[in-house]
Amino acid sequence: MGEGGDGGGVEEATVFEVGIAVPRLPRAAAGGRGEGEDCVARLVRELEDAGLVVERVRGVPAEFIKLSAPMGTLGRAAAEMQMKKLTYIGMELQFEWDQVAAFVRQPDGSLFSWRERFACFRHLIYGIMNKTNSIIILKFDDKEFHWSQNESLLSRLEDEGVVKLVFPLHDEIKRKQLLRNWALNWHDFTLQPIDEIYSYFGTKIAIYFSFLGMYTRWLFFPAVFGLATQLIDFGPLQWLVLPAFFIFVISWAVFFLQFWKRKNSAILARWGINYSFSECKTLGNELDSLSRTDDDVQEKKFGHAPDDKRILQRKEWFGVLLKIRNNAIIVLAIICLQLPFELAYAHLYEFTETEALRYLLTAAYLVAIQYYTRIGGKVSVILIKYENNQGEQSSADSLVYKVFGLYFVQSYIGLFYHASLYRDILTLRQVLIQRLIVSQVLENLIENSIPYLKYSYKKYRAVHKKKHEKESPAGKSVRLSTRVEKEYLKPSYTASIGEELDDGLFDDFLELTLQFGMIMMFACAFPLIFCFAAVNNVTEIRADALKLLVMLKRPAPRVAATIGAWLNIFQFLVVMAICTNCLLLICLYDEEGKWRIEPGLAAILIMEHALLLIKFGFSHFVPEEPAWVKANRVRYVAQAQNVCSKQLLRSISKLDTKWA
Amino acid sequence: MGEGGDGGGVEEATVFEVGIAVPRLPRAAAGGRGEGEDCVARLVRELEDAGLVVERVRGVPAEFIKLSAPMGTLGRAAAEMQMKKLTYIGMELQFEWDQVAAFVRQPDGSLFSWRERFACFRHLIYGIMNKTNSIIILKFDDKEFHWSQNESLLSRLEDEGVVKLVFPLHDEIKRKQLLRNWALNWHDFTLQPIDEIYSYFGTKIAIYFSFLGMYTRWLFFPAVFGLATQLIDFGPLQWLVLPAFFIFVISWAVFFLQFWKRKNSAILARWGINYSFSECKTLGNELDSLSRTDDDVQEKKFGHAPDDKRILQRKEWFGVLLKIRNNAIIVLAIICLQLPFELAYAHLYEFTETEALRYLLTAAYLVAIQYYTRIGGKVSVILIKYENNQGEQSSADSLVYKVFGLYFVQSYIGLFYHASLYRDILTLRQVLIQRLIVSQVLENLIENSIPYLKYSYKKYRAVHKKKHEKESPAGKSVRLSTRVEKEYLKPSYTASIGEELDDGLFDDFLELTLQFGMIMMFACAFPLIFCFAAVNNVTEIRADALKLLVMLKRPAPRVAATIGAWLNIFQFLVVMAICTNCLLLICLYDEEGKWRIEPGLAAILIMEHALLLIKFGFSHFVPEEPAWVKANRVRYVAQAQNVCSKQLLRSISKLDTKWA
């Protein structure tokens, strides 16, 4: 097993990480007659042959095959997959089991991250082929089917409906530990065990929680200032309070976002994900465009030949045009369909006399927008499929922008209406509180209760069915006894739109972003809103953690080194906030509605431009990557380059003569 | 010499690329008495021993040693210097002469670029040490001095005043070719042989001319539009012309700058400078911060130890604070000293009655600002020395920002004054024309005539001195006969401020930037100005080319993959242009000076914000690096990684055990 085999996976070989659900057959049927082997038995045998540790569990709704992989099996799979793994010289190289010492280890000391392990599992499971020269006949519950040569057994079984689901399993020990240290840890409001979250859920979810934690921690500053503006009377300087608060909040946001970028690179450095901030954006695209090129040019060598350059260029511009067209469609749809609708609602709400009618109106509106956004999401997903985005991350980003456009108009147009046209600050505040508290708190409740209700319903149905099947002999109560069947029944962590493009983080991030937009854009109208947001986020961390640990299946790990498109949206919201707050200030100080440019108004305009300048100039002063991360990153690379230099050169020279 | 020796350097071994100027001694004194060798003779012998081809030329002002290096000598020097050179797998590795095939070649097929050759020359020349165990006594014109052990001969001679100058020589063949194809090529206005410029002058100058060419080419579009606005009467739609022109110009600038970035990466890809756009920014810093770390930590291994992290962090923040302090000093100086001065001038100019007084005032003003900017530049250079900038490029950028701040206020405050406070469009136009034509045309003339005058004066003095020495025997006229002595007398290409930080490109870029600012920020006041700028730039290309080829010494090559800080300044000017043009439009349409927000004014404000949004959102649509560059970049890397993978891994594993 080599010196590298002493990682985490060996001692805890009994930690089952992946489950396969197959239908539960009556015991009698298992030993059937006729030729052909039972397919589930065959699957188990093949899995064991692949080096996996297999355990069969008979549950109430189905039968489960639990899988665990020893270190050696995982390593073999990684080498077979030609998995690229970061080495100490900062290059990603193909994994080789006998050169294990060259690869960067995880912060907890193990060789493979959860994402890599899961990829290996999938490779092992779906890589079970019929390697004999003949078709193998398998049977399942008296049905017979053929497993032809070089066909994946698992895909065949999925097609036949035998394998219902392949899903990652919770690791009970780590889950309990996280539950104790994280979800139910009320001592420190914002401290989270990010490293443990990373090794349990993977990068994407850990980055989300890290961002949420930092955001919440930073929120306390404006929350305190906001509270102060409400509690303290500043006397003759009262008129200065709101502009000061405005400037503070914008600077706060600019600092926060820049420092988040630094924190992000620091975290990645700690986890041994060795991208610089900018490289990680391009790297994905590069590799994708390369593989695309390979597909298109089909093994044909392309050098600086103008032909290939032209093809690539044409393709690039075609992609840009498609993107522009799709965005134009979305923008037009928003302006022509959604905007009038939202304005009509805001207008009607303002002019409705009785409270009862207002509630009715709001109810109707809420139902309508449910449908509206669902349709919008579907349309966005369809549009994205026609874009030639480079890589999954790029598609997901594109979707994020489009869907956020919908939600942006939906969430804020009504508020803008109250803020600017009517200059009705009191109504605005009322609507703000209503939106923030009702929508956020309710959403949190719904978000957590719906999975539970789904789970309960599924459980009930499964148990009920079982009872019917057994016709309740001796009235014995049927209960779900094993952990794996409970997990199987739990809902999975998926986005409300476009399941295949993004996971449940989409909804969580959307919620966070809409909240950020609301508190930033209307900061001057209601400084106290930051307090509500801070309190809300403290509970949000716990609610999301509980959801992931208790309510849902363990999500399949996804690659993402940053929060991606959401960061850009946050930046955009800060710019919007500068403009809207200026508008609010003008409304507040220009009470007679004369719209005259007086010194005050001119001052506000100048302030706006100055803030915009600061927003865009700030990143020049504070680099996105801390110096120590850079130093760490370069250190190994430089040393290794010096040592390996000669050897490398020799192989490159050989390569070159081969290519020439 | 290996397979790689068949580059350009061998056949043209007689191309002398570096000259050393030593005093011209009377022939009689050369064979002096006493012990000790003549130092110049010794220098020549040592240079020959180092493998260089040496030619001595006796000129009028001095004696010259012309040097040329065969390929083998250069290669040996590069290996000695441990020069890092790009290999085909995209990593920079130490140069090794026997693995020459691994390194990327120049576009013209030679192994070393001009910058690398020059670095090798310097290494060879300054690397001549006294390797004997005793002090060698050298004499020069009866003076004796000691050349101690392990001391560089050339540094010693420089200290003694024997070696006056080491300077790169023009390559007559290539120079004539460039003169014909480039400086005196009037057929195509903007086409330049960029690749030839690159291999003759190095990256930095080639990038400048490439930018200037593209800028000029793009300028024709707004020039035509600007001309059209003046010539064509649009009838009832006349009021729409200026806003349309404004929007066109801003979009033009945004497109131009984004496409320049693409062009820049395309050029770098062609030259085999294999940075991606973002990497090249960080790479320099990385290596610098690494070497800095090495210096500080002094061979001490630093891992993730919190100590080292803290040191680096403290240093980083200290640097940021210093930068902020320095910038604050500059900003305060500009606001408190320069602004009142400029405003006073503008005000006086407006209120002076007679033309004569105005000219007098302007003359006084021009003299004053000459001193003012010189002092400002000096102060900036001093301030920068106290910043701990990472690398020369970073210092140069910092200087650019500071000095541009000075020039920005100096050039535009008067214009702003006319534009906004007096709303005197006619005066503004007049000042604009005056500034653009007078300043730009005059500057071009001065820029080109001053070097020529300097050269003529030096030539005259040298010849005059010679005549005196010889006391004109037989009235024979003394003339400069050799090329090398002419070049020696030519001025060098240096910046007007801070010679050590930047070369003459600083002034050229500054001129270009100020022009861009002027035409962009006051586009609406005078659309015709784009025509003047376009014509001016066409001559500027030729003037700059002539200056470099004919008027000046060949400049020492500098590293720079992009136009650096200037691009940021261009971006900043576009943003400024959005704001100032809006202000101008408001002034133009609000003739009664009521400053009322009417639909028109609100529309302009909305337009401003929309344009700002476009400016900052545009880069999301058009990537900074063309797809084919990316594909090319990744292609070799991926293939090479796959081939070298195993070998690399083995060496990394070994490395790892060594470190552990």
Q: Tell me the pLDDT band of B644, cut-offs 50, 70 and 90.
A: low
Q: Is the per-residue pLDDT at A312 higher than 90? A: no
Q: What region does B54 belong to: left with phi over 0, alpha with psi -120 to 50, or beta? A: beta
B643: nearest CB among A621, A649, A655: A655
Question: How far does CA A1 lie from the centroid of its chain?
Answer: 36
Q: Which residue has the tokens 């700058």?
A: B257
Contact B223, B254 (CB under 8 A): no
pLDDT by residue (tens digit) across B563-594?
878 998 998 898 888 888 887 887 777 655 55
Question: What whole-number distance in Å separates Cα of residue B314 and Cα of residue B319?
Answer: 9
Query: Among A535-549, B153-167, B458-472, B569-583, where is mean pLDDT lowest?
Result: B458-472
Nearest chain B residue to A304 by CA distance is B632
CB pairs under 8 A between A and B: 214
CB contact under 8 A, A282 and B642: no
Distance between CA atoms of residues A505 and A202, nearest Å: 13
The nearest CA of chain A is from the CA of B615 a distance in Å of: 12
pLDDT bucket at B656, cuts 50 / 70 / 90: low
Question: What is the 8-class DSSP label of residue B565?
Answer: H
pLDDT for A299 equals: 37
Q: Which of B93, B568, B634 sits opposite A641 (nearest CB)?
A: B93
| Alpha-carbon span B504 to B497, nearest angstrom | 9
Distance from CA of A435 to the nearest CA of B (A): 27
Q: Is the pLDDT of residue B503 over 50?
A: yes
Which DSSP letter does residue B84 get? E
A601-605, B131-135, B287-291, B470-474: lowest mean pLDDT where? B287-291
Cβ within 8 Å, pair B626-A93: no
Q: Using the beta-carbon criterion (under 8 Å), do B289 and A627 form an inter-chain contact?
A: yes
Q: What is the pLDDT of residues A72-98, one digit of tens each?
A: 888 888 888 877 777 766 666 778 887
Mean pLDDT of A120-141: 84
For chain B, report the end-to-end CA distance as a whole number of angstroms: 40
Q: Which stretches within A271-354 are classed as H helix?
A: 277-297, 306-333, 339-351
- Cross-chain Cβ contact A630/B315 below 8 Å: no
**B101 vs chain A: nearest CA distance in angstroms?**
5
Of A315, A641, A656, the CB nearest to B101: A656
Interface contact B285-A102, CB threshold 8 A:
no
Q: What angle do CA A583, A587, A592 make, to 5 degrees?
A: 150
Residues of chain B with Cβ-Cβ distance to A100 below 8 Å are: 653
User: CA of B286, closest CA in chain A: separation in Å?
Assistant: 6
Which of A627, A645, A646 is nearest residue B315 as measured by Cβ atoms?
A627
A641/B579 CB distance under 8 A: no
Residue spans of alpha helices (H) in A437-482: 442-470
- At B628, is the pLDDT very low, low, confident or very high (cuts 50, 70, 90)? confident
Stretch (H or E) spanning A167? strand A165-168
Nearest-by-Cβ selection for B91 from A87, A290, A641 = A641
Q: What is the pLDDT of residues B442-481, one digit of tens each?
A: 777 777 777 788 888 888 887 777 667 655 454 455 666 6
The band of B297, judged by pLDDT with boundaries at 50, 70 and 90, is very low
Q: Got the DSSP string for A17-50?
A: -EEEEEPPPPHHHHS--SSSEEHHHHHHHHHHHT
The nearest CA of chain B is from the CA of A204 a distance in Å of 23
What does the pLDDT read at residue B219?
Answer: 93
Residue in chain A nearest B641 by alpha carbon: A93
CB contact under 8 A, B102 and A656: yes
Among the partner-chain residues A279, A323, A647, the one whose CB lies closest to the CB of B279 is A279
Above 70 in pLDDT, residue A102?
yes
Query: Closest partner residue to A630 among B91, B286, B653, by Cβ?
Result: B286
pLDDT above 90 (res B211): yes
User: Which ranges constitute the DSSP H helices of B232-305?
Assistant: 238-270, 277-297
C-alpha span between B637 and B213 (Å, rounded): 32
Longest dimension (CA), chain A: 96
Mean pLDDT is highest, among A17-31, A338-352, A406-420, for A338-352
Rounded Cα distance, A456 and B409, in Å: 71
Average pLDDT, chain B: 77
CB contact under 8 A, B656 and A313: no
A656 pLDDT higher than 70? no
pLDDT at A349 over 90: no
Q: Would you state the structure tokens that stand for residue B278, as one six-digit string?
A: 């973002």
Picking from A94, A308, A635, the nearest residue to B290 by CB comes out as A635
**Does the distance separating the beta carbons of A644 and B651 come in below 8 Å?**
yes
Query: Could you read off the pLDDT of A562-599 as tens digits, one per residue?
Result: 787 899 899 889 888 888 888 788 777 765 555 455 55
Q: What is the mean pLDDT of residues A471-476?
A: 50
Which one-letter amino acid corresponds to residue B510? L
In this prediction, residues B479-499 reach a mean pLDDT of 75
Q: pTM for the complete prediction?
A: 0.82
Strand-strand pairing, B53-58 and B63-68: antiparallel
Asked whether the beta carbons of B588 and B242 are under 8 A apart, the reply is yes
Q: What are phi and psi of A379, to 5 degrees?
A: -60, -45
Distance, CA of A650 to CA of A656 (rounded, Å) = 10
User: Cα distance from B206 to chain A (closest Cα, Å)?
Assistant: 21
pLDDT tens string A28-60: 444 445 566 788 888 888 888 888 888 888 877
Spatial distance between the Cα atoms of B518 and B495, rounded to a whole number of angstroms: 22
pLDDT in tens, B521-571: 888 888 888 998 888 888 888 888 888 888 888 888 877 777 878 998 998
Q: B632: which chain A residues are within 8 Å (Cβ-Cβ)? A: 304
What one-character DSSP code corresponds to residue B557? Answer: P
Give A146's strand partners: A137
The per-residue pLDDT for range A251-293, each reduced to its tens digit, is 899 989 989 988 988 888 888 776 543 343 344 444 444 444 4
* Intra-chain end-to-end CA distance of chain A, in Å: 40
* Cα Rg of chain A, angstroms: 29
In this structure, what are the phi and psi dihedrals at residue B182, rounded to the nearest 5 degrees?
Answer: -125, -65
Would the pLDDT of B407 be above 90?
no
The rounded percent of chain A whose pLDDT value lies above 90 is: 6
Mean pLDDT rounded to a whole number for chain A: 77
Q: What is the ipTM for the molecules in this complex?
A: 0.76
* C-alpha–C-alpha distance, residues B608 and A179, integer Å: 51
| Nearest residue to A219 (alpha-carbon basis) of A443, A523, A581, A507 | A523
Q: Is the CB of A631 less than 8 angstroms away from the CB of B285?
A: no
Among the partner-chain residues B320, B630, B652, the one whose CB lies closest to the CB of A286 is B630
Closest chain A CA to residue B401: A620
Which of A89, A278, A596 shows the shortest C-beta gap to B652? A89
By CA distance, what is B288's nearest residue in A? A631
Tell me the pLDDT band of A248, cut-offs 50, 70 and 90.
very high
Query: Inter-axis angle of helices A194-201 and A203-231, to 10 degrees?
Result: 140
Residues of chain A with C-beta less than 8 angstroms from the C-beta of B568: 620
* Residues on chain B touching A579 (C-beta within 8 angstroms): 609
Which three-class secondary structure state does DSSP give residue A192? coil
Record: contact B621-A324, CB cut-off 8 A? yes
Q: In the 8-state DSSP scheme, what is residue B237?
A: G
What contacts B152, CB < 8 A, 6 or more positions away?
Answer: B126, B127, B128, B129
**A416 in Cβ contact with A580 (< 8 Å):** yes
Indicate if the pLDDT at residue B376 is higher than 80.
Answer: yes
- Convert the pLDDT of each residue in B52-84 to its tens digit: 888 888 877 788 888 888 888 888 888 888 777
- CA–CA gap between residue B542 and residue B534 (Å, rounded): 13
Pairing mode, strands B84-86 and B143-147: unpaired
How far is residue A570's CA from residue A253's CA, in Å, rounded to a whole number?
Answer: 9
Angle (nearest 5°) at CA B473 between B469 and B475:
110
Higher-pLDDT residue of B595 and B257 is: B257
A66–chain B nearest CA distance, Å? 34
User: Considering only alpha carbons, which residue of chain A is nearest residue B314?
Assistant: A627
Q: Which residue of A has its CA nearest to B321?
A: A621
Residue A620, min C-alpha distance to chain B (Å):
10
| Contact residues on chain A for B626, CB-CB shorter than 8 A | 312-313, 316
Residues of B in contact with A99 (CB under 8 A): 646, 649-650, 652-653
In degrees, to the nearest 5, what angle opens at C-alpha A257 toward C-alphas A254 and A258? 85
User: Who's near B187: CB < 8 A, 6+ residues apart?
Assistant: none
Contact B293 A631 (CB under 8 A): yes
Cβ pair B312:A628 closer than 8 A: yes
Cα–Cα nearest to B75, from B85, B65, B67: B85
